[in-house]
Amino acid sequence: MKLFPRLEFHRTGIGLLPDPHDPEPGSAVHLANVAGSKRPLTFCSCSAGRRSGCRHLKQLEGQIREFHRALGGSWFDLFTRSGWFRLAQTVFEDNLPSASDCSVLQERPGGPIRLFTPGGVEVLRYVEQSPAVVRFLERIGKLSSGTSVADRSGLLERLSTFMRTPEEQHLNKAGMQTNRQFFERSLWCRVAYHALREYGDIPGGAPGGGELAAARIRLEPSVDLRGGSVFLKVRADSDASVRFQIAVPRKRVGDAFALLAETGQCSVTPLPAADLFYVGPDTRIDEKRKLDILRLAAEGEEILDEPGRKRFSYGDLVYLEELGILVRRSERNEARWREPRFLDLEAAAIDTFRSEASALEPSPTLAENPLAGLGILTEFDYIEIAPEGEDEEDDLLSIRYGFGSGDVGLNELLEAKRAGQPYLETPSGWIDLNAPALRSLGSLPGR
């Protein structure tokens, strides 16, 4: 899947990040469907782009054409019809902090990246260690200027300013924002944008959109026993590895479970509280859990409101540690009540984990590259050239570049570079395909 790592999108606006090795860099912008203009607006920050067309604008137009061919349509249509966008809308709350308001923490090299609200509540944990982590932090503006080589958050902010409607401009002048703008600045919207760009879609999106829209990620809910938040694990279908975890707003947990069930993903069916607390002598109960269930039933539904269970409450849902299940508060008319025939605890069970307490205070930005401990390779150690076949008269040559204790074939490097990947993972570390020592790869034919 080609990532187009130098492109960033907002609505129908597209921006091209400057090449970090360009002696005369420029950030080109293409704005379609701008209010008051029948034609797309294009301009660049370089000196030539301010007066007329420049090479950065030509690069941008070429990447836009290639992107549309790969997707069969525009980014705006793909994103707004995706499962990620649908999930972000489902769990969005306008009183949640924006992505830029969160603080960030990485306690050790190679450790997870953790995001916290201004109140100190953990809302995201990025487990994967790859260049996608760097791009995520750049998109939410959480890498210091001395660490980040790409001002992605700045470009996204400029695009959002350019793409405002006349009504939004009027409200913004009065110090207000529309609900749409609140949503677009939210952490959930930025996460959905990033995840679709980097990993592909989740189930629930509209058909179409080519390879990028293919569902290749699944979501799995779990409860953090330390803080009580419900997190969604973002797991890849390809290798079953967890990319990151994100917390669901408490009042939206039930909506999130409903969406997961509707789209055929791993979900939880909360047990009605009336079924649990009004078990009768004829109710079939798991013998291993019978004593726990009968004890809870004897105490009554009032235990759901105990102060100690507050951190496990999510609207009308409550997590019961004793049984490892979610129950839904009920308002059943006792006159019409009938004891349940069977308690299905398995359907209401949810995975758990216990997060680590933070030994350090989170900060507004990370001062160091989160991949520094893994090794970024910017230069090769040697080049090995040998005949491709056993026949000495064969004109084909095998070219391999040595990095650390291993080597990589030229074809593999070219394939990754042509796919738009900024890095290539190897046992020795991450090869920076845009490093000066490797910039000439694009002119080589391969083999």
Q: What is the pLDDT of residues 87-140, one digit of tens each?
A: 999 999 877 888 889 999 998 877 899 999 998 889 999 999 888 898 999 999
- Listed ranges 115-129, 138-152, 365-379; the one with the highest mean pLDDT: 115-129
Q: Say if residues 397 and 388 touch (Cβ distance below 8 Å).
A: yes
Q: Is the pTM of this model over 0.75?
A: yes
User: In whole numbers, what is the pLDDT of the chain averaged over residues?
Assistant: 85
Least confident of 16-20, 52-56, 418-422: 418-422
The pLDDT of residue 171 is 96
Phi, psi of 201 (to 5 degrees): -90, 170
- Listed ranges 17-26, 151-160, 272-281, 294-303; the one with the highest mean pLDDT: 151-160
- Which residue, among 444, 416, 433, 443, has the nearest Cα to 378 in the 3D structure? 433
Alpha carbon distance 20, 23 (integer Å): 8
* Whether the predicted pLDDT of 447 surpasses 70: no
Residue 271's pLDDT band (cuts 50, 70, 90)? very high
- 269 secondary structure, DSSP code: -
Alpha carbon distance 97, 30 (integer Å): 29
Residues 332-368: tens digit of each pLDDT:
555 456 777 888 889 999 999 998 888 788 898 887 7
Residues 275-334: tens digit of each pLDDT:
888 887 778 887 788 888 888 888 888 899 999 999 999 999 999 999 999 999 876 555
Residues 190-213: tens digit of each pLDDT:
999 999 999 989 988 876 656 665
* Whether the predicted pLDDT of 249 surpasses 70: yes
Residue 248's pLDDT band (cuts 50, 70, 90)? very high
The pLDDT of residue 356 is 85
CA 188 to chain centre: 9
Which of the two residues, 371 and 252, has the higher pLDDT score?
252
**Extents of the domains making up the chain:** 69-262, 271-349, 376-443
Residue 373's pLDDT band (cuts 50, 70, 90)? low
SS3 call for 284: strand
Alpha carbon distance 354, 188 (integer Å): 23
Which of the two residues, 297 and 390, has the higher pLDDT score?
297
